[in-house]
């Protein structure tokens, strides 16, 4: 049973309304959950952005944080959905994570943010080669492929360097056919990963893996539609690497 079914609404915690013993019971319960969640990279990244508002957790969140059955079972505090859908509950969980007197050794610190930053950088790096035209353009091309497959094949041969051909080749090679649903869900997850990285990178500890990935990061064609987020990510990466160089002037 989910924790939301076992506890009162977040707004009723604290103050004179609820005895401090009840809050202590919740903290003990939550610490047991966090102990397991921090053992999983995917779930750790999910925890690290608890304070950040994810507006479409049912689409972009699910695609950026794909959970298997075991992971779903561990997310008893509903970091994927309720934390972002209900502001008061999200604030309550954030206060728990940020207060070492409540969360103890499971306080959300730089170590866990580093794990999350690596997770988001990997997601971004794995998807920068994809190319996404406008939704309407892709929809027209998809309909043409379905309704006039012989004409589509002819156009592919005549325009091998076009954006549409690159998309179709990539999708046909990976999935056997163009899938609009997966295409745009992937784009949404990519954009969310950019936003999440900007959120966690300033709080991250310095690590060799994160530093190596940050130095290698190059944005591909996909990021051309996210120039604002790209600039934000580039800025935070530069600030992180400046911290690295300040700590070790000999670092390359």
Query: Which residue would you say has higher pLDDT here, 234 or 149?
Result: 234
Residue pair 27/96 in contact (Cβ under 8 Å)? The answer is yes
Q: Total domain count for the chain?
A: 1
Residue 9 confidence class, pLDDT cut points 50, 70, 90: very low
Query: Which residue would you say has higher pLDDT here, 127 or 40?
Result: 40
How does the average pLDDT of the chain come out, rounded?
80
Q: What is the pTM of this model?
A: 0.74
In terms of Cα–Cα distance, which of 11, 5, 72 is closest to 43?
A: 72
Kindly tell me if the per-residue pLDDT of 1 is higher than 80: no
Task: Assign 39 to helix, strand or coil.
Answer: coil
Q: What is the pLDDT of residue 57?
A: 81
Answer yes or no: is 151 within a domain.
no
Answer yes or no: is 139 within a domain.
no
**At CB < 8 A and 24+ separation, what contacts does 168-171 make?**
168/141, 170/130, 170/131
Residue the block writes with tokens 């779930």: 43
Answer yes or no: is 84 within a domain.
yes
What's the number of CA atoms in the CB half-sphere (13 Å) around residue 90? 19
Q: What is the pLDDT of residue 224?
A: 62
Q: What is the pLDDT of residue 153?
A: 64
Answer yes or no: is 211 within a domain.
no
Model confidence over 210-233: pLDDT tens digits? 999 999 987 755 556 678 888 899
Residue the block writes with tokens 């959950």: 33
Q: What is the DSSP string of 101-152?
A: HHHGGGS--HHHHHHHHHHHHHHHHHHTT-----HHHHHHHHHHHHH-HHHH
Answer yes or no: is 171 within a domain.
no
In terms of Cα–Cα distance, which of 175, 201, 176 is closest to 186?
A: 175
In terms of Cα–Cα distance, which of 7, 184, 23 is closest to 78?
A: 7
Residue the block writes with tokens 């997601």: 123
Answer yes or no: is 81 within a domain.
yes
Answer yes or no: is 240 within a domain.
no
Answer yes or no: is 100 within a domain.
yes
Q: Which domain holds residue 75?
A: 23-108
């Amino acid at each position: 049973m989910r924790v939301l079914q076992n506890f009162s609404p977040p707004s009723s915690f604290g103050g004179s309304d609820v005895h401090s013993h009840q809050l202590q019971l919740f903290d003990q319960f939550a610490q047991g959950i966090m102990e397991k969640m921090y053992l999983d990279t995917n779930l750790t990244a999910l925890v690290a952005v608890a304070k950040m508002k994810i507006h479409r957790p049912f689409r972009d969140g699910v695609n950026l944080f794909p959970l298997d059955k075991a992971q779903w079972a561990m997310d008893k505090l509903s970091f994927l959905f309720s934390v972002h859908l209900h502001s008061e509950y999200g604030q309550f969980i954030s206060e728990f994570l940020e207060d070492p007197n409540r969360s103890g050794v499971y306080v959300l610190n730089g170590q866990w943010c580093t794990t999350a930053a690596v997770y988001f950088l990997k997601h971004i790096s794995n998807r920068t080669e994809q190319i996404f035209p406008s939704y309407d353009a892709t929809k027209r091309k998809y309909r043409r492929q379905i309704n006039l497959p012989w004409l589509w094949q002819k156009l592919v041969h005549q325009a091998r360097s076009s954006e549409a051909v690159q998309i179709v080749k990539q999708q046909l090679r990976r999935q056997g056919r163009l899938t609009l649903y997966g295409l745009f869900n992937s784009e949404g997850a990519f954009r969310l990963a950019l936003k999440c990285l900007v959120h966690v990178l300033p709080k991250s500890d310095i690590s060799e893996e994160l530093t190596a990935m940050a130095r290698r990061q190059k944005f591909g064609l996909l990021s051309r539609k996210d120039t604002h987020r790209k600039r934000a990510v580039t800025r935070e990466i530069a600030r992180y690497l400046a911290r690295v160089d300040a700590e070790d002037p000999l670092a390359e």
